[in-house]
């Protein structure tokens, strides 16, 4: 049965906290999953949340802290002393511990590491702290099971029993040589089925996919997706095994990147949370809105420059909206398809010339269909002389918008800029300007005798 957080239940928990009813609080929390408790902590003020978290088993509290939103976690951890935080860090996977400590002031970070009872955990954390979170080294965890290639199956099983105490999920057993160089991996199934005196050297699989510590996290995610991996080992430049990256961490990276791209495409300059105040929300939305307003003013300037054409044929104004919206929609659709193809590196990469040719052919078909539909409408409203103006303009706008939607993300990607920034308000505004300009130029040319 799934847990549903209601205001009545939240008030009940708050009352238990206010009355310091620790026994009832622990009993209530024992009935919930860590994710459900996280939902309660999000709704509480930092001090009550701290009180509730301090009553939990440290392993449960560590899991909750590791998965809290960084912004809420930072506010909550301000209520903790270094002595109060260290027991939770002691229970975390090394990668989660590093993520949390990197959010803390340097003094707190060093104090917590010094207070850790598990000195191996402290060493793992120190090893990981110098990696940037944008590369595989910053995403990996040190906890894994590795065995020497010279062991027998019987000795391997004993080694697994000892090492597995600190490993939450065992996806594979990695095989290394005497200097720690990754040689391959062996499945638990093979170990269980093998004779106890068999050598690991005879049963391990040399065909192992790995990544180096310096590989970008986006590349790591793509490798794991391509080969359908639950975990991937991480090695240094000498191919010595240093750690592993698990699928849950990769999913977090992919989700975070997707959210950032959606926000950029939507015209937001930063993250937006439900509990942000009015000014924070306005600050995130305002930059692109201002840019869009400037673009619209420029479009109005273009229209104003063709007042003589509007004076001759007032019906020209009726088709301005379809010209602008069609250009914007085509630009967004095309750029979205290009962005999708750029993120899929599993196939053979298409050249820019071939992309442009394909885009041109699609745009011609789309432009002709939309142009004929809109042109036909000119007869319905009694303005048949606008047929060629509207039809030709829409064909030209679709072609130009398709070209921009293709070339802009490709060029940005080529020079190392996130191509997602080419979408949304940027392309829409640019295509509005181009579309309206093209529309009136064609009208001026075709209606020159009017």
pLDDT tens digits for 122-162?
999 999 998 988 899 999 999 999 999 999 999 999 999 88
**Domain identity same for 166 and 196:** yes
Domain that holds residue 154: 146-251
Crossing angle between the packed helical segments 387-414 and 320-343, to the nearest 10 degrees: 30
Task: Tell me, yes or no, whether 28 and 98 share the same domain.
Answer: yes
Residue 141 inside a domain? The answer is no
351 in the same domain as 240: no
**With 70 as the cut, is the pLDDT of residue 423 above it?**
no
Q: Does the pLDDT of residue 358 top 70, yes or no?
A: yes
| % of the chain surpassing 90 pLDDT | 40
**DSSP type of residue 246:** E
Residues 152 and 118 in one domain: no
What value does the mean pLDDT take over residues 419-423? 59
339 in the same domain as 430: yes
Question: Do 385 and 294 have their domain in common?
Answer: yes
**DSSP code of 69?**
-
Q: Is 263 contained in some domain? A: no
Task: Indicate if the pLDDT at residue 269 is higher than 60.
Answer: no
Q: Once rounded to an integer, what is the mean pLDDT over residues 332-342? A: 75
Specify the pLDDT at position 344.
Answer: 60
Distance of CA 124 to the CA centre of its chain: 26
Q: What is the pLDDT of residue 263?
A: 60
How far apart are the C-alpha atoms of 211 and 218, rounded to whole Å?
A: 12
**How far is 10 from 42, CA to CA, in rounded Å?**
11
Q: Count of domains in the chain?
A: 3
Q: Which residue has the tokens 């791209």?
A: 261
CATH number reported for the structural domain that contains residue 180 in this entry = 3.10.580.10
Q: Which of 4-13, 302-311, 333-342 shows the lowest mean pLDDT across its residues?
A: 302-311
Q: What is the pLDDT of residue 421?
A: 56
Q: pLDDT class for 168, splitting at 50, 70, 90? A: confident
Do 308 and 398 share a structural domain? yes
Asked if residue 372 belongs to a domain, the reply is yes
Q: What is the pLDDT of residue 417?
A: 66
From 134, 154, 186, the end of a domain falls on 134
- Judgement on whether residues 162 and 101 belong to the same structural domain of the protein: no
- Shared domain check, 440 and 297: yes
Q: Let me know whether 42 and 107 are in one domain.
A: yes
129 falls within a domain: yes
Domain membership of residue 267 (yes or no) is no
Within 8 A by CB and 6+ apart from 149, the residues are 175, 176, 177, 183, 200, 201, 204
- pLDDT of 82 reads 94
Residue 123 in domain: yes
CATH of the domain at 401: 1.10.357.20
Residue 259 is assigned to a structural domain of this protein:
no
Average pLDDT value over all residues in the chain: 83
Judgement on whether residues 111 and 167 belong to the same structural domain of the protein = no
Q: What's residue 2's pLDDT?
A: 75
Residue 182 falls within a domain, yes or no? yes
Q: Give yes or no for residue 268 having a pLDDT over 70.
A: no
Which of 235, 251, 267 represents a domain boundary (last residue)?
Answer: 251
Q: Which residue among 213, 233, 251 closes a domain?
A: 251
Q: Report whether pLDDT(110) > 90.
A: yes
Q: Per-residue pLDDT averaged across 293-309, rounded? A: 69
- 105 shares a domain with 202: no
Range with the poorest average pLDDT among 99-103, 235-239, 409-413: 409-413
Higher pLDDT, 233 or 286: 233
User: Residue 57 belongs to a domain with what CATH number?
Assistant: 1.25.60.10
Between 416 and 273, the more confident residue is 416
What's the pLDDT score for residue 266? 56
What span, in angstroms and rounded, lies between the C-alpha atoms of 34 and 37? 5
Mean per-residue pLDDT for 371-388?
Answer: 87
């Amino acid at each position: 049965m799934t847990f549903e957080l209601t205001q009545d239940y939240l008030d009940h928990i708050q009352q238990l906290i206010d009355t310091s009813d620790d026994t009832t609080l622990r009993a209530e929390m024992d009935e919930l999953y860590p994710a459900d408790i996280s939902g309660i902590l999000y709704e509480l003020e930092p001090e009550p949340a701290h009180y509730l978290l301090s009553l939990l088993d440290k392993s449960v509290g560590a899991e909750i802290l590791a998965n809290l939103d960084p912004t809420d976690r930072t506010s909550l951890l301000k209520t903790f002393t270094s002595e109060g935080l260290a027991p939770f860090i002691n229970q975390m996977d090394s990668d989660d511990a590093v993520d949390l400590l990197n959010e803390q002031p340097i003094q707190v970070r060093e104090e917590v590491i010094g207070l850790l009872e598990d000195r191996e955990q402290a060493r793992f954390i120190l090893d990981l702290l110098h990696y940037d979170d944008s590369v595989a080294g910053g995403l990996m965890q040190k906890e894994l099971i590795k065995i020497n290639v010279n062991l027998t199956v019987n000795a391997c099983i004993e080694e697994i029993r000892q090492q597995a105490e600190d490993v939450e999920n065992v996806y594979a057993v990695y095989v290394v040589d005497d200097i720690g160089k990754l040689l391959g991996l062996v499945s638990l199934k093979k170990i269980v089925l093998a004779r106890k005196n068999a050598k690991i050297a005879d049963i391990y699989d040399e065909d192992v996919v790995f990544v180096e510590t310096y590989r970008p996290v986006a590349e790591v995610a793509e490798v794991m997706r391509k080969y359908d991996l639950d975990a991937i080992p991480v090695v240094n430049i000498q191919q010595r095994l240093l750690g592993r990256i698990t699928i849950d961490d990769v999913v977090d990276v992919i989700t975070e990147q997707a959210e950032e791209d959606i926000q950029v495409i939507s015209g937001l300059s930063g993250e937006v949370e439900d509990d942000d105040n009015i000014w924070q929300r306005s600050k995130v939305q305002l930059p692109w809105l201002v840019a869009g307003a400037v673009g619209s003013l420029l479009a109005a300037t273009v229209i104003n420059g063709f007042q003589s054409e509007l004076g001759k044929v007032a019906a020209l104004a009726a088709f301005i909206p379809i010209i602008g919206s069609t250009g914007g929609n085509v630009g967004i659709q095309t750029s979205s398809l290009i962005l999708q193809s750029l993120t899929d590196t599993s196939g053979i990469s298409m050249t820019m010339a071939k992309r442009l040719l394909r885009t041109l052919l699609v745009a011609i078909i789309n432009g002709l269909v939309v142009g004929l539909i809109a042109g036909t409408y000119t007869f319905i409203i009694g303005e048949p002389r606008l047929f060629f103006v509207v039809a030709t303009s829409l064909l030209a706008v679709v072609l130009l918008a398709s070209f921009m939607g293709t070339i802009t993300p490709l060029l940005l990607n080529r020079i190392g800029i996130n191509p997602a920034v080419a979408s949304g308000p940027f392309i829409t505004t640019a295509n509005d300007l181009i579309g309206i300009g093209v529309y009136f130029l064609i009208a001026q040319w075709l209606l020159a005798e009017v």
